[in-house]
Amino acid sequence: MAETPLQMTERLYAKLRRRSQKIRKWSDYFEGKHPLLFASPEFSTQTGDLFDGFSDNWCRTITHATAERLRPLAFRLEDGSIDKAAERAWKRSGCHVEVNLALLEALIAGRSFALVWKPDGVGTEITFEKPTTAVVEYVPGRRRLRAAGLKVWTDHDLEFATLFTPLMVYRWQRLRSGSGGRWTGRTAGLSRGEPSHIPNRLGVVPLVELPNLTRLGASPVSELAPVIPLQNAINALWAHAMTASDERALPARVVLGMDRPVREIIDPETGEVVGEEDEPLAKFRSDRLLWLERQGASIAEFSAADLRGFLDLITQAVEHIAAQTRTPAIYLNKKLINIPESAVSADESGLVAKAYERQDHFGAGLQEVMRLEALAAGETKRAESLSLGSVVWRDPHFRTEVQFADSLVKLKSIGVPDEALWERIPGVTHDVIERWKRMRDDQAGAILGGNVAALYGPKPPEDDQGDDQTDAEPPTAA
């Protein structure tokens, strides 16, 4: 029996809720909200909530190291030219800013989403969605063909859901409560007489997944998955180190051959001594007082604890995180003293290779987003050309200006065109490149027109030209 739209909505909603539990865990670790694990029950009982909220957070550093090297700049058509219409739609929706957040979210949570839609009377909108509010389902056996997509959100006491299928868009609402009511056709926010369910004019599911893939056929995974166990170990080691530092950082002295000091217990009613009890030693520590009454008593000293073992283990754990995530060591320890440039480049090679891999995976999703934008605009030929084109990314290599200049000069010497060189300069967008091309054409036109002086500033007035003549005869004496 075929599944009804309502049944599909409920099933995808349940799938989204199950997925959200793991996503919240990854998000908490990125934000530095780590439980204290790998500590014995006795240690936890002794310290209580002393280390609640503490973390030596490497999860944020790891994800930002990759995210900052993923910057989409433009979209190429099949013929290699830049799609100006796609660039305008991209900026009109603010995607040139929010795409950075979407890619960071995908690295943290394993995936994020983009929605392409064209409301009545409004231009095409592209929005990026959180992985806790969107889910895409694929046709069985087809990893890239989308069968349906669901987006959910809340507003005051109502919860909304939109189910996208290739033919229809089903819009639902229900009361927001702990148990969750039954989904019904949406009425809130719709114009009077507007139906809850409408045809899908695009003919495809407009919700696109941006997955952080590492294996063929496997589910997207967070960049933090291999980091979390080592992160827990680092936090536990710091907790032990700080506890040892608090109790054993200074040498401890002990009295030998003497009874523990006691004090008398006096009955408040009779004033008679009824017993004795140990004198608290805290007062002696705070007042720095000590007396020896028994003959033969002596003072011994316990040396301070050596905490270097904890620090060495923490360093080893951080190095393991760097190796497993292909993060340069200089990102984690910042030791740049007397390190040659070639060693720094070699250290970053793993991260650069990972950035190229992520560009391929995320680029396929971004191409599909812009193909849908072209379809929504009614430009089917441009949509087809975009699907066969590519995404222009910022070079993931980080170099100094001197290194870039030297690299560009060498590429120029073997005949690489100026436009191709300009694209490799960090921070240079295609708007800037177009302006540079116009400036270059203006310079060429000035040279061909014989107005070379215009390249160096305005000409002096013609009346002043005679003042500089040096071949005039000097005046004769009277």
Whether residues 157 and 13 fall in one domain: yes
DSSP state of 38: S
The pLDDT score that the predictor gives to residue 141 is 85
Strands across the sheet containing 111-117: 125-129, 111-117, 207-211
The pLDDT score that the predictor gives to residue 153 is 94
The pLDDT score that the predictor gives to residue 255 is 72
The pLDDT score that the predictor gives to residue 463 is 60
75 part of a folded domain: yes
The pLDDT score that the predictor gives to residue 179 is 55
Q: How many CA atoms lie within 13 A of 143 on its CB side?
A: 11
Whether residues 27 and 114 fall in one domain: yes
258 part of a folded domain: yes
Last-in-domain residue among 187, 207, 223: 223
- Residue 130 CA to residue 410 CA, distance in Å, equals 44
Whether residues 26 and 157 fall in one domain: yes
The pLDDT score that the predictor gives to residue 31 is 94
Q: Residue for token digits 């927001």?
A: 176
Whether residues 66 and 193 fall in one domain: yes
306 near 245, Cβ under 8 Å? no
Q: Determine whether 469 is exposed, middle or buried from the number of CB atoms within 10 Å of its CB (0-12, 13-18, 19+).
A: exposed
Whether residues 298 and 183 fall in one domain: no
- Residue 144 CA to residue 128 CA, distance in Å, equals 19
- For the chain, how are helix, strand and coil distributed in percent, rounded to 5? 45, 15, 40
Whether residues 71 and 109 fall in one domain: yes
Whether residues 15 and 106 fall in one domain: yes
Beta strands at 111-117 and 72-76: parallel, antiparallel or unpaired: unpaired
Whether residues 27 and 162 fall in one domain: yes
DSSP SS3 for 414: coil
Helix or strand (DSSP H, E) at 154: strand 146-155
Q: Residue for token digits 């500089």?
A: 468
Low-confidence residues of the chain: pLDDT under 50: 477-478
Whether residues 144 and 258 fall in one domain: no
The pLDDT score that the predictor gives to residue 478 is 42
Report the number of distinct structural domains present in the chain: 2
210 near 109, Cβ under 8 Å? no
Q: Residue for token digits 């011994």?
A: 300
CB atoms within 10 A of CB 374: 24
Domain that holds residue 285: 251-303
Whether residues 147 and 273 fall in one domain: no
Q: What is the dihedral of CA 254, 259, 263, 265, to 10 degrees?
A: 140
The pLDDT score that the predictor gives to residue 474 is 53
Last-in-domain residue among 223, 243, 272: 223
Q: Residue for token digits 């409408």?
A: 198
Whether residues 160 and 262 fall in one domain: no
DSSP code per residue over 200-228: -TTSS--EEEEE---STTSPP--TTTTHH
pLDDT tens for each residue of 217-258: 788 999 999 999 999 999 999 988 888 777 665 566 667 767
Q: Residue for token digits 């056929």?
A: 217
Handedness of CA 223, 226, 228, 234 (dihedral sign): negative
- Residue 132 CA to residue 436 CA, distance in Å, equals 43
175 part of a folded domain: yes
453 part of a folded domain: no
Copy the structure tokens of residue 433.
């490149």
Whether residues 287 and 141 fall in one domain: no
128 part of a folded domain: yes
Helix or strand (DSSP H, E) at 433: helix 430-448
146 part of a folded domain: yes
Q: Determine whether 379 is exposed, middle or buried from the number of CB atoms within 10 Å of its CB (0-12, 13-18, 19+).
A: middle
158 part of a folded domain: yes
- Residue 199 CA to residue 215 CA, distance in Å, equals 36
Beta strands at 197-199 and 168-175: parallel, antiparallel or unpaired: antiparallel
308 part of a folded domain: no
Distance from the first to the final alpha carbon of the chain: 123
Last-in-domain residue among 208, 223, 238: 223
Rg (CA), the chain: 35
- Phi then psi for 417, rounded to 5 degrees? -60, 155
Short-list 49, 58, 52, 50, CA closest to 31: 58
